[in-house]
Amino acid sequence: MSLYVLGINHQTAPVALREKVAFASESLAPALASLRGLADVHEAVLLSTCNRTELYAHTDGDGQVLADWLAAHPDAGNDVHAYLYRHRDADAVRHLFRVASGLDSLVLGEPQILGQVKQAWAASREAGALGGQLDRLFQQAFATAKRARTDTRIGANPVSVASIAVRLAQENFARLDQSSVLLIGAGETIELAARHLTDAKVQRLLIANRTLAHAQELASRHGGIALPLNEMDKHLAEADVVISATAARTPILHRQQVEHALRQRKHRPMLLLDLAVPRDIASDVSGLRDVFLYTVDDLERSIEDNRRSRREAAEQAEAIIELQTARFIEQWRASSQQQPLLQLRAHGENARNDALAKAKQQLAAGLPAEQALELLAHTLTNRLLHAPTVALRDAARSGDAELSRAVEKLFPGSDTGSRDA
């Protein structure tokens, strides 16, 4: 059996493809059930974020069935095969440890990914798709990520896609203390954006969400105004900056809506930051004059500055990951080799119990102790040696010398022939 991971991320595939293979939280359970139904797949974890979709599996196969399964996802198409990366065993372990530690993230060292990996692990456990092998792997990933963030400065001055987006708005578009910002959504990314905007003393903060209660809760913490999503159009023209990050499967902000808002604003420019995958803002909005639309892929330049500043810490974290990967693989291989030992011990225990039970019956029936002991030794020897003897005879007939060599290694110096003194 092998550990496999395959997937796509911000480094291998554009957002237009990533959004086609993204899994909403409510679709994880049926997707995991489908994965577990594949031939030779014993355990599975599905990680889906705005920057990656990855399948982790403990399987007997070569991983191709996993790639075909992902390509069969609605709208994905066969094109996904060209963008997939695949890792097996040690490489799969190393990859997960890097992901959990934030070393494979768009924003190097960002802390949100560890929580997302934990959510993926929990969803798999709840769906009954998690077994001992992947559970141990993910538990070790959590411990490795914690150590990487504790023992290096990879987590110093934590940043996120949300903080990069707010910084972009500050540095290249508007003074936030003189601007109105509309946040669409109420998840973790929007929560972080609201926090950064509050720190930047944004003049006015509007928060629109499909569930009004969630928007109200977020607005109360950050001094904002909550709106139901269906009233967003009434207030869109008030926003100098729009930051959107929902779990919607299709765009919620279209060209016609933005055009109408621009007319109301007398074409004062708007900055739109779409941090969602699938995208929240229709791509044709970028063709409008006086609109500056950025997706997560467009934040790469700002993110590269962060990457350079953290490179030394990243190298230290990589060293930790290499050590932890080697240790995990060593333990994993050792545990997988315990099965033959467990089978051998179980065989011996069964033989002992059967022989002892027969001897006790004979003693109870009045058989002398010496004869009962002789019967015990004879029965135990036959039970222990029967299966190996049959296997050795079959091997001899087929010309297979490997089993004979194994016996010589197991029982050195057990020559039954006579020797001269």
Residues 151 and 178 reside in one and the same domain: no
Which residues are annotated as catalytic?
A: 50
Average pLDDT rounded to a whole number, residues 401-421: 63
260 belongs to a structural domain = yes
CATH number of the domain to which 285 belongs: 3.40.50.720
Residues 247 and 378 reside in one and the same domain: no
171 belongs to a structural domain = yes
| Phi, psi of 279, rounded to the nearest 5 degrees | -65, 145
348 belongs to a structural domain = no
320 belongs to a structural domain = no
Band of residue 417 on the pLDDT scale cut at 50, 70, 90: very low
Residues 167 and 114 reside in one and the same domain: no
Residue 296 to residue 227: CA distance in whole angstroms: 25
Residue 193 to residue 174: CA distance in whole angstroms: 16
Band of residue 336 on the pLDDT scale cut at 50, 70, 90: low
Those residues with Cβ within 8 angstroms of residue 242's Cβ, 6 or more apart along the chain or in another chain? 181, 182, 183, 184, 236, 253, 270, 271, 272, 273, 281
Give me the pLDDT at residue 420, please.
41
Residues 401 and 279 reside in one and the same domain: no
Residues 83 and 213 reside in one and the same domain: no
- Please give the residue range of the domain that contains residue 171: 161-301
Residue 224 to residue 270: CA distance in whole angstroms: 20
325 belongs to a structural domain = no
Residues 138 and 231 reside in one and the same domain: no
Whether pLDDT at 338 is above 80 = no
Residues 283 and 380 reside in one and the same domain: no
Instruction: Return the higher-pLDDT residue of 213 and 418.
Output: 213
Residues 173 and 110 reside in one and the same domain: no
Question: Which among 201, 205, 114, 202 has a CA at the least distance from the CA of 160?
Answer: 114
Q: What angle is formed at CA 345 by the lines to CA 340 and CA 347, rounded to 5 degrees?
A: 95
112 belongs to a structural domain = yes
148 belongs to a structural domain = yes
Under the phi-then-psi rule, with left for phi > 0, alpha for psi from -120 to 50, and beta for the rest, what region is 108? beta
The H-assigned helical ranges of 365-421 are 369-398, 402-410
Cβ-contact 185, 274 below 8 angstroms: no
Neighbours of 23 (CB within 10 A): 18
Cβ-contact 124, 130 below 8 angstroms: yes
In DSSP notation, 4-52 reads: EEEEEETTTS-HHHHGGG---GGGHHHHHHHHHTSTTEEEEEEEE-SSE
Average pLDDT rounded to a whole number, residues 120-127: 96
Write the CA distances from 79 to 17, 53, 72, 245, integer angstroms: 9, 15, 11, 26
Band of residue 158 on the pLDDT scale cut at 50, 70, 90: low
322 belongs to a structural domain = no
Give me the pLDDT at residue 72, please.
87
Residue 230 to residue 234: CA distance in whole angstroms: 9
Model pLDDT for residues 45-95, shown as the tens digit of each residue? 999 998 899 999 999 888 889 999 998 887 776 678 899 999 999 999 999
| Domain-ending residue, one of 103, 125, 156 | 156
Give me the pLDDT at residue 397, please.
81
Burial 103-136 (b: 16+ CB within 10 A, else e): bbbbbbbbbbbbebbeebbebbbebebbeebbbe
Model pLDDT for residues 24-53, shown as the tens digit of each residue? 889 999 999 999 999 889 999 999 998 899
Residue 98 to residue 145: CA distance in whole angstroms: 8
Whether pLDDT at 368 is above 80 = yes
Residues 220 and 365 reside in one and the same domain: no
Give me the pLDDT at residue 98, please.
96
| Domain-ending residue, one of 131, 156, 181 | 156
Question: Which among 56, 44, 48 has a CA at the least distance from the CA of 20?
Answer: 48
CATH number of the domain to which 89 belongs: 3.30.460.30
| Domain-ending residue, one of 273, 301, 329 | 301
Model pLDDT for residues 311-320, shown as the tens digit of each residue? 888 899 999 9
Q: How many domains does the chain have?
A: 3
| Phi, psi of 217, rounded to the nearest 5 degrees | -65, -45
Average pLDDT rounded to a whole number, residues 383-401: 80
Instruction: Return the higher-pLDDT residue of 313 and 135.
Output: 135
Residues 222 and 364 reside in one and the same domain: no
Question: Which among 75, 95, 198 has a CA at the least distance from the CA of 137?
Answer: 95
Give me the pLDDT at residue 342, please.
67
Band of residue 337 on the pLDDT scale cut at 50, 70, 90: low
Residues 187 and 137 reside in one and the same domain: no
Residues 281 and 390 reside in one and the same domain: no
Model pLDDT for residues 230-264, shown as the tens digit of each residue? 999 999 999 999 999 998 999 999 999 999 999 99
